[in-house]
């Protein structure tokens, strides 16, 4: 289970990177990065998962005293939430940039925006 999740995650990351590095269209690049981000998030969660344990929520089902033995690692879960939020922020920013870039040149081809160089 963990292996499958991890594998999926890494495949998504590689797919995303491949897409981002080969597509010239800015929107496609952004989508590719989103795919890669999703992969990263899956990997994060997968690392924290321990087979046969429950969610790290302390209630009647999981009293605090037994928590250490019964819950999965809560840290990656907390991390993944933050990572998702930040990923969302960056993706939004990129989309806003894409919009402005399109206004500037009337094109979304990344290779058209290379006046700054050397």
Residues that bind other proteins (CB under 8 A): 13, 17, 20-21, 24, 26, 29, 33, 36-37, 40, 43-44, 47, 75-76, 79, 82-83, 86-87, 89-90, 93-94, 97-98, 100-101, 104, 110-111, 113-118
The residue (of 67 and 110) whose beta carbon lies closer to other proteins is 110
> Please, what is the minimum distance in Å from the beta carbon of residue 111 to other proteins?
5
The residue (of 58 and 83) whose beta carbon lies closer to other proteins is 83
The residue (of 60 and 118) whose beta carbon lies closer to other proteins is 118
What's the gap between Cα 94 and its chain centre? 15
> Please, what is the minimum distance in Å from the beta carbon of residue 75 to other proteins?
7
Can you list the pairs that 6-11 forms with residues at least 24 positions away whose Cβ atoms lie under 8 Å? 6/42, 6/43, 6/46, 6/47, 8/39, 8/42, 9/39, 9/40, 9/41, 9/42, 9/43, 9/46, 10/39, 10/43, 11/39
For residue 118 the two structure tokens come to 């050397």
């Amino acid at each position: 289970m963990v292996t499958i999740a991890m594998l999926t995650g890494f495949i998504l990351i590689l797919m995303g990177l491949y897409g981002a590095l080969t597509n010239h269209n800015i929107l496609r690049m952004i989508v590719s990065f989103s795919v890669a981000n999703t992969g990263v998030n899956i990997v994060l969660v997968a690392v924290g998962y321990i087979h046969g344990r429950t969610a790290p929520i302390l209630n009647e089902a999981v009293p605090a005293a037994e928590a250490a033995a019964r819950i999965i690692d809560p840290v990656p879960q907390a991390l993944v939430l933050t990572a998702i939020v930040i990923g969302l922020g960056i993706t939004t920013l990129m989309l806003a940039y894409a919009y402005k870039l399109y206004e500037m040149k009337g094109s979304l081809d990344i290779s058209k925006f290379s006046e700054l160089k050397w």
